[in-house]
Chains A and B, each alone.
Chain A
Amino acid sequence: MAETDSAALEARDLHLWRGSKHVLRGLSFTASAGHLLHVRGPNGCGKTSLLRTLAGFLWPEEGALYWEGRPVTEDRDGYAAALAYLGHENAMKADLSPLENLRYATDVRHPTERRTIESVLERLGVGPQRDLPFRALSAGQRRRVAMARVLLARARLWLLDEPFTNLDVAGVRDLSAVVADHARQGGIAILTAHSELDLPGSELRRLELE
């Protein structure tokens, strides 16, 4: 899935303002293949803003973001193809089933067989719900389906904003395993979570925002 090289994602001296609030003040970090970055901090410290900046929605006023050594502004679509983003919203249509939703979300990037989608849904524990309308699913099940989209995107860089919201204990365990797997295969995951993370066998690093 990914060739190993050094420092895949690098943030250099990011400054971000939201209105009159100076959210990011000269943030720098690097994340390379196999790294898991846990972004932590109190409410309103800019965790979501940071993730949205890394996903390319927000432009930092100063500083720059590099992917594989090149500024992401040079090839935004190329960078977007390399990342998968899970926001607060699940990005699923309530009137479509998980299977339909995932087909549209994934096929836009690369053709995916129905069997692949089904197996990922099974792995995340929502196999039986695959043909129900998305609106009929519980909040936790919806989050799992959304995570299936990230998994199916075949992206090297995962940006997960509060992926464990609404998940039960088993859900947290399943999801942690998926994220740890991703890192083991040379991927990068940057995620925000309030709780401590338990990700066995992977290099977990912390990024504290004040």
Chain B
Amino acid sequence: MSERLRITGGRVYDPRHAIDGAIRDICIEDGRVVAALPGDAPTLDAAGLVVMPGAVDIHSHVAGPKVNLARRLEPERRTVPTVPDTGRLYTLLGYTTVFDAAVPLLGARHAHLELQDTPLVDKGFYVLLGNDEFVLAALEDGSDDAVRDVLGWAVRASRAYGVKVVNPGGGAAWKAARGTPGLDDALPGRRVTPRRILTALARAADALALPHPMHLHCSNLGLAGNATTTLDTIAALEGRRVHLAHLQFHVYGGEPGGRPTSRARELSAALAAHANVSADVGQVMFGPATTMTADARVGEMLHDLTGRKWVDADLELEGGCGVVPYEYRERNVVHAMQWAAGLELLLLSPDPWRLVLSTDHPNGGTFLSYPRLLRLLMDRAYRDEQIARVHPQGLEGTALRDGLAREYSLYEVAIVTRAAPARLLGLEHKGHLGVGADADVALYAPDANLETMFTTPRHVLKAGRRVAEDGAIREETWGRTLQATPPFDPAVERALGRVLAEAGSLSLEDYVVGADEIGAAR
């Protein structure tokens, strides 16, 4: 028996199809949008409501070893929700697809265990490469084809959706000698440079035709002067496709070792000039946060700042990770600058299809602050009120001082939270409401307070099921795990096996996640 539903009379925002608030019916059958339904199909009255595709989070941290360490680290404040709550809370905001941005090969099985227990949303992750022995050995001894095959194997073995590169080569260098190599510095004891890692992996991701390009966390995150690194990185990619993660953390001016300032304007211009580059913003929101990153250097830096808890972990043959509880404060000059830099990027954005929303949950703040972020973008008066509250020195030199007037429209919001992330991810059936799309839909009641509007959708549908209504879960369904299936030459396994035999504590088979290890646990 097919399940049908007609959503009637709503104002539809579907940027992929250039629908900007037109009154349309959306017809759903068996979890997909269809062109039409028989007249007797059940209806959901959406008159007066805003209808959007379910939102897609392109960069979050929701599953895997470091996320779970963070949960255990903070029983007293719980910034990082449990796995069941992650699925529920995302859904209650109208998000129906979520990607974890950083899972090491060795943590893939663990990440899938958590994804199996994550209800409601569709989900997946990007596997970490670029500081590991597998890629470094291939780069040193082999050809670009070898790197491509390592990448193909890694995505298949970990059942990942894409590939994430964090501080290319820098993680390995930090681990070996706490060094921070420049783009053309050879890593300690190696002939490989960050530039080589970067370009080879970007090329490999393209060669394998992964649906999402290389997802890159640039070097020198959080450090004064890192805007130069980011600009150099964009130049080094020579027009190859790349997605820059949490761009806000990489746009700082100032002297190395000094107080960072914002160079968001320049990065915005660079984004305009490079159509091959997309990014998510990594907005900082005031309040509690938990920093968790495969960039272990950042963990150490933040621990030195806070002097409190810190999890610092090394992973054999790969990098490691750092977890540090954090708090962003309005009256802290650096935090104010970070907050402003994110808003600058969004308000100066040359193309909403290439700069999308994220808080790098929970690094810049939790995903629960998305509605507040949307209000900041859409409501200038509210934004000005907030601007008046933050440390004034933090705003010096930022475009916020110029009185940026831009207010995002509902149409643009639908782009940066839905249509664009889906397109950047190569998700053909997400982020729009055309025929054949997954019937993931969020319906909002307009409200003068846009934070209120986006905090509690009136209805959320997942694969055609009415899963949430007015802030309560109505039915707990189970989403899919999304994975890419690039080809690779099995011969690469011999080389990988050699690396493991020399320096690992597991066999190659131990790295391979089985088909039976994904999908709903129950």
Is B a genuine binding partner of A?
no
A residues sitting closer than 8 Å to B (CB atoms) are none
B residues sitting closer than 8 Å to A (CB atoms) are none
